[in-house]
Structure formats: C-alpha cells, structure tokens
Structure 1
Amino acid sequence: MARIFIDGEAGTTGLGIRQRIEALPTELGFEIVSIDPALRKDSEARKAMMRQADVAILCLPDDAAREAVALGEGLGIRFLDASTAHRRAEGWVYGFPELDAGQPQCVAAAQYVANPGCYPTGAIALLRPLVKAGLIPSDYPISINAVSGYSGAGKSAIEAYERDGGPAFQLYGLGLQHKHVPEIQHYSGLDHAPIFVPSVGNFAQGMIVSIPLHARTLPGTPKASDLQRVLEEAYKGSEFVSVLPAESSLLGDSLAGTDAMELRVHGDGEKLLLTARLDNLGKGASGAAIQNLRLMCGK
C-alpha cells in the first residue's frame, strides 16, 4: 500500500490528482491520507501527515512548496511537486517521463520529482527531439504561441468565468517574461529564451501549443516529413504521446478529460508549423502527476 498526502488538495490540480487516484483500480494499492481542512496551514499537522505518507504531492504556490520540502526534511518521505519551484532545481528529477529513454527510470528512483508545467509539456515535447537531432539549431530564434482553457488560470478565475462568462480570447504575459520560459528553454536544449505568447480561450479545459518554423532557415531545408519522422521515433511506443498526421484545423478542447497529448507537423515547403494538443489539467498537470506517482511507487 502506498500512502499519499496531497498538500493543497483543495486547489484545481490537487482535486484533479485526488479524483484520479480514487479512480485507479484498488488493487494498485494507493491510499490517500487527508488533513483536517481547518489545519491545512498548520505546520505541525502537515508534518504529521507527512510522517504517515510515502509520497507527498505538493499542489501549492512556489514559496509554500519550498517550505513544505523543508518541513519534510529528515522524514524519509518522497516529494512530487506540481509547482514551478523545483523544475530546474539541483537534486530534482524533471517529471516528464518521455523526455529521454532513461527518464522513467530516473523518475522511479528519485526522492524529489518536479511535475512539468502545462505549456512546457507541449513545447518541450515538440522541440527537444528536433534540437537533439540537429533539425532545429540550439540557437534558433524560437517563437511559441499557445492557448489554454480558463481552468489553468486558478480557482478564482474559474469561478468568475463560470459565474459571469469571460472574454472569448485573451492574450497575457505580454511582458514576455512568463515563468515557464526558463523551463522551456532548459529542457528543450535552446541556447536562448524563446518568445512565448500565452493566451486564454473561453473553454474550460484543453490546450494547443504551436511553433512556426521557416524551413529555409533550418539546416538542410528539411521537409515536414523529416520533422515528423524524428518525432515519431522519439515517442514510439509511448502510452500518452502520439504523433499524428497534419490536420487543416484543431479544436483546443478535444482532449479535455484525457491524459493524452497529440503532436503534429503541418505545412510543407518553406512554411512549417509544429503543434501539441493536450488537456492542461491532464497531461499538463494532474494526469502527469499520476503518471509520475505510479512510476515512483512501482505501480
């Protein structure tokens, strides 16, 4: 039996993780230990929960996540952090099992695992294999456009959208300093930070990440089929990531409620477009956490 404490289980990601654990077959042997809601900010009560648990999943703001790790020091507990705090921190394994061939084993053996961000999951999945293969130079000036459902904006924003409605489409992060940029750059293997322009659409769940490329500026002027072939090889046999043929249009919410991610290469000739479609709360958050949790617990 693996005992799991979700620190911050009342938030969007925490609720999603709890629901997914409860939906797992009982024979897998997961048990959730929950804190009294009145004590959720009580350090000693949280520490007592950690003493009972094998893994603590942190669904907290960054500073609170760092404090939680310090709180659990010396208890022998393992941590899976869904915040931004530890995604590039020394001693933490990046929880994107599809990152490299040996990444699932790294996650399985780690005491500290950092769950990826939703936008970085799509961007890194597209870029890393192509940069490693040399089809995209590491110093290439990458631009990334992305749209997410409003569920990624936090509990108060969700309530506002569902109560009052919201804009059909809204760009944000126009200072071009989004907190996911360092993570994308680091794990994609880029020398320079990409231009990243996120947006929110008036739909609850789902996400599309898109990256335009000019083939004539890439080594050897590759075709769409060349990029497609590299992606297919990188994710061959993956349970959650599929590389599919190009389509003339994509809906942002088609994978809502799933843990799948679809990668495509559109266009040909000089103009190419890479796209990743996923559920921002699935493979982009809670679904990824369950994938990592099962690896960590050997289940």
Structure 2
Amino acid sequence: MTVKVFIDGEAGTTGLQIRERLSPRADLQLLSIDPARRKDAAARAELLNGADAVILCLPDDAAREAVALIDNPAVKVIDASTAYRTAEGWTYGFPEMAAGQRAAVAGSSRVSNPGCYPTGFIALVRPLVEAGLLPASWPVTVNAVSGYSGGGRAMIAEFEDTTSANFTHEPYRAYALNLGHKHVGEMQGHTGLEHPPLFAPAVGRYAQGMIVEVPLQLSALPGRPTLDDVHQALAAAYAGERFVEVASLDEARALKGLDPEGLNGSNRLKLFVFGDPARGQARLVALLDNLGKGASGAAVQNLNLMCGLDEAAGL
C-alpha cells in the first residue's frame, strides 16, 4: 500500500530537503497544494485530512493552526517546529534517545521532531545522567556552532544574498547572548536535568553542519568518572544503532580537529569523547548535519517508523 504524505511548508529549507529524500520513493505518494492556495484554509484542511501522514515544516503558530485543522483521527503528524517538543500527548522523535523510544515513535500519531542542537546535546548528556555519572543537579554548559541554514530563509539571505540590506561578511556570530534560546527547555526536559543548561550557540559562515560540545570537569563530579567510564556509557547507550555512532577513544585521540561539515547530507550523528585523563577533564562532542539528523533526516526516519516502513528508507 502506498502511503500518502503531505509536507505542509514544503517550500522552506527543511521542507525542500524532506521532499528531496521522499520524492524518489515508490512506497510513498507525495501530495502538494497549489502554490496559489497555500493560505487557503479549506484547501490546506482537505490535504491535511486526506493524507496518511503529514509533516509540518512551519513556524510554531502556523504549526499549531495546522494541527487544529486536522480532524481525521487516522492522520499521523510529524511537527518540525518547536511547538510540541515538550507538549503532553506528543512523542519526542528521537528514536535512539532511550530504551522504548523507537517503539513509542512507531506507535504514535503525534510526533515532534527534535531540534538540531538538542539532538546533539541530549545524545551526549542523557546516557550520563541515566548511568549516574552526571548528577541531574549538575550545572551543565553546552557550546555549539551551526551552519547558517539553521536560521532559515532570513539568515540564509544574510550570508548569501549580496543584494540584501542585511548581507553580512561575518565569519562567525555568537547569538542568544541573553541565554533565552528556545531550545533550552527541550534540552533540559529530555535529559532529566534539574536546571536549564547554559547554552552558548553560534553560527559560522558555512551553509550546514553542526558541532555541539559539552565540557565536563570529571574530577569535580561525584565518583570522579574517567574518560573510559564516560565513553563506555555512551557506547552502551547506542550499541547497534544505524545512525548514531560513538567514536573509539583511539580515534578521538588521533584527531587534530573536527570539521562541522563532516556529516553533511547524511542522517548520521557521531559522538566523541575528547579529554585529558591526567587533568580529569573531558570535551564531549556531537557532530551532525543540522539539516540531516537535526531536521529533515530525522523527520524521514520518524515517518518510516510511524508508517511501518524500513527505518532507513530514503536515508
């Protein structure tokens, strides 16, 4: 049976990449709205209720409006906005996050796609909290840099459109300086931390790709865990996963640097444990494509699970 899929917001950055991944597939039928009727509520409602699965690539308020238009209980919804990432009744779409999460996604009709930064942060931190190596009460800091595509059309224009009044030559920009980034609640809520992490995001002058880093003073933690302890906890958490890989300590030690564009075009997430055992310090790093495992790739993976298809199809 062919699954009918409607991408609401297919003209946006994430929507375009999802469509690119889905369009060659014979097991799916992609539904599209006439561009002239995109703001026609009746036309949208017809497609939203006539699809087997809907992927929302919209701003938060527009995503909420779209959900309100769906009255067909058989329609499965994946929302790529931040509107429902900590909402009751919605399943968090990070299948590798915890035991049972994949089954929860597969059995849900309402799935919230994770944010790109939270994907890396949760992947690094949650296993350590669950293993008792990192107390839930610990003050955690996360530093990250993303390609400018993560900021959507407006930011892409800033970095690419030389005719724009907002065009910038900045090589690097730290932002959310008041610590009010909208991903913080998601990061805290899905790791079990008792306090919001201190999040220091930045954007670099490249289109896509991301590094998320959590520095830890291991010698200050209760139990004084070693690099080996941290690595073992992460490796155990993701053993056998297709899209999440934990680099060996030998591989991490051999690296002289890390390219944020290293996994572009993929749905992969790679975790590294760097550090100095003598100093009792660690740098935990997640590498991913902010438009892959951080957005469109994750949405396709969740779609596959929800519709009973091969999880890796299109990826």
Structure 1 length-normalised TM: 0.97
Output one character per residue of 1:147-182: Cα deviation in whole Å (capped at 9) or x when no partner. Answer: 000110111221331223631110000010100000
- C-alpha distance in 2 between matches for 1:249 and 1:139: 31
- C-alpha distance in 1 between matches for 2:130 and 2:244: 18
| Structure 2 partner of 1:284 | 294
| Structure 2 partner of 1:117 | 115
- C-alpha distance in 1 between matches for 2:113 and 2:156: 22
- C-alpha distance in 2 between matches for 1:288 and 1:23: 18
| Runs of 5+ unmatched residues, structure 1 | none
- C-alpha distance in 2 between matches for 1:201 and 1:50: 36
State the identity %.
Answer: 54
What is the SS of the residue equivalent to 2:65? helix
Q: Is the 8 A contact 2:218 2:224 kept in 1?
A: yes
| Structure 2 partner of 1:102 | 100
Q: Is the 8 A contact 2:146 2:203 kept in 1?
A: yes
What is the SS of the residue equivalent to 1:97? coil
| Structure 2 partner of 1:21 | 22
How do 1:76-225 and structure 2 match up within 5 A?
A: 76-164=74-162, 166-225=169-228
Report the residue type matching 2:283 in the other structure: L
Q: Is the 8 A contact 1:50 1:75 kept in 2?
A: no
- C-alpha distance in 2 between matches for 1:160 and 1:209: 23
2:29 to 9, 28, 31: 31
1:22 Cα offset (Å)? 1.4
- C-alpha distance in 2 between matches for 1:219 and 1:31: 53
Report the residue type matching 1:275 in the other structure: V
Q: Is the 8 A contact 1:223 1:268 kept in 2?
A: no
| Runs of 5+ unmatched residues, structure 2 | 163-167, 310-315
Report the residue type matching 2:95 in the other structure: P
Poorly superposed stretches of 4+, deviation over 3 Å: none
1:234 Cα offset (Å)? 0.4
Report the residue type matching 2:256 in the other structure: S
Q: Is the 8 A contact 2:49 2:72 kept in 1?
A: no
| Structure 2 partner of 1:262 | 270
